[in-house]
Structure 1
Amino acid sequence: MFTISDTFPVSFNNFTGVIPKEIWYLKELEVLILGRNNFEVLINAYYKTKKVEAAMNLFREIRHKGLTPNVVVCNTVMQGLFSAESYLSAREVFDEMQAAGIKPNFHTYCIMLDGLCKIGKVHEAMQLFHSMEADGVDLHISMYNIILDGLFQQSLP
């Protein structure tokens, strides 16, 4: 059975953090070529272990590698940032992805609406919801549920 025994501190190309030593050894042997999907998995792992700065460094590394993050990578980053209560950074990623021509999908909008409502920015979530409606985004019942839940939570003492 394969298990990750411990981590290895690394610093390369503006990335500083820790990664499992097995991945480091593979990278050293140039067996592991980080592509978009590998970045998404590692970024998600960093967020789940509360290593927000390491995740953001890795997210920035994508562009240094000549890759463009896709909507799944951006969604992972925004979800992690909201979980870490970094609203401004999540909003910045959302705005940057749109400026780069990366079209938000259903999950992107749900992440943004849910994140905004959970941090008490229901008014901003409502503005986003109305702009989605005006832009012709196919609104799903789960989006309405997120907004209704946010409004309900806001009305509680």
Structure 2
Amino acid sequence: MDHRARKLFDEMPHLNCPRTVFSFNALLEAYLKSEKYDEIGGLFRELPPKLSIQPDLVSYATAIKALCRAGLLDSAVYLMDEIENHGIKPNIVTCNTSLTAFYERKRFSEAENLWAMMEKRNIIPDLCSHNIKLISLVKANEVSKAIQFFDETVNKGFKPDKFQLHAKKVDFALDLCKEAMKSRKAIHNTIMQRVVNCLVEHSKIETARELVKLAQSYKSFRNELSLP
């Protein structure tokens, strides 16, 4: 796909088709889908000055996604800074791409810097942003931080039943519920019920019963949970 796209892009002047930022973006997307991540950086440096093309937000977003997938996070950060220098405001999709890459590679301080940058530039985190961070805390087994962040997120108006619950992390979700109850922290019954349901789906019936019984021993959760 990438070779055919580049061939067509190079032939466009002979076909009386001007090469614009739109065709440039299509070329980048073709390389992205072909997983030629390392070559996208070269295209980004080479073609715009050569063809007098001004990259737009889509151009930068595609390049940043490629750099993140290639593990070149420092270059991705550089492009994020370059966006603002060209008067282009990054959007939440681009920020979420970078957040995912930072958390996956355990570069937590840079992820937090990105959160601060989003706040500074008035880029409002969406549900996906919060899921990315919550899942990273789950993977790091940061129970207290996960509970605190979950509480903060719900307080911002996000509905708890919209959060992802990954089957691979059901044991951690169970620990999270237990820790929340022991520490008397608020946790929505909707989430508790989803954990119970997930335990049953994974044939952990006795564990699900234990969670229901434990929840019923706390006044705030009494009679709210049930086995499906």
Paired position in structure 1 for 2:106: 85
Bigger share in strand? 1
Contact map agreement 2:95 2:114 (CA 8 A) in 1:
yes
Contact map agreement 1:97 1:103 (CA 8 A) in 2:
yes
Q: For residue 61 of structure 2, what is the amino acid of its counterpart?
A: E
The SS at the match of 2:134 is helix
Change beyond 3 A, Cα 1:141–1:122: same
Paired position in structure 2 for 1:152: 172
Change beyond 3 A, Cα 1:2–1:152: closer
Stretches of structure 2 that go unaligned for 5 or more consecutive residues are 7-37, 176-228
Q: For residue 113 of structure 1, what is the amino acid of its counterpart?
A: L
| CA offsets 1:44-95 (integer angstroms, 9 cap, x no match) | 1111111111111111111111111111111111111112210111122123
| CA offsets 1:15-38 (integer angstroms, 9 cap, x no match) | xx9854444332122443221221
Between 1:26-35 and 1:128-137, the stretch displaced more is: 26-35
Paired position in structure 1 for 2:156: 135
The SS at the match of 2:151 is helix
The SS at the match of 1:66 is coil
Q: What is the alpha-carbon distance in structure 1 between the residues aligned to residue 44 and residue 109 of structure 2?
A: 31
Contact map agreement 1:71 1:102 (CA 8 A) in 2:
yes
Paired position in structure 1 for 2:117: 96
Number of aligned positions between the proteins:
141
Paired position in structure 2 for 1:64: 85
Stretches of structure 1 that go unaligned for 5 or more consecutive residues are 5-16
| Percent identity of paired positions between Structure 1 and Structure 2 | 21
Contact map agreement 2:41 2:67 (CA 8 A) in 1:
no
Change beyond 3 A, Cα 1:88–1:122: farther
1:118 to 116, 133, 139: 139
Q: What is the alpha-carbon distance in structure 2 between the residues aligned to residue 91 and residue 150 of structure 1?
A: 26
Matched, 1:43 2:61: no
Q: TM-score, normalised by structure 2?
A: 0.54
Which structure exhibits the higher relative contact order, with contacts defined as CA atoms closer than 8 Å and separated by 6 or more residues? 1
The SS at the match of 1:112 is helix
Change beyond 3 A, Cα 1:129–1:151: farther
Contact map agreement 2:41 2:63 (CA 8 A) in 1:
no
CA RMSD across the alignment:
2.7
Q: TM-score, normalised by structure 1?
A: 0.75
Q: CA deviation at 1:122?
A: 3.1
Show structure 1 runs of 4+ deviating over 3 A: 17-25, 140-143
Q: What is the alpha-carbon distance in structure 2 between the residues aligned to residue 101 and residue 21 of structure 1?
A: 31
Change beyond 3 A, Cα 1:149–1:2: closer
Bigger share in helix? 2
Paired position in structure 1 for 2:222: none
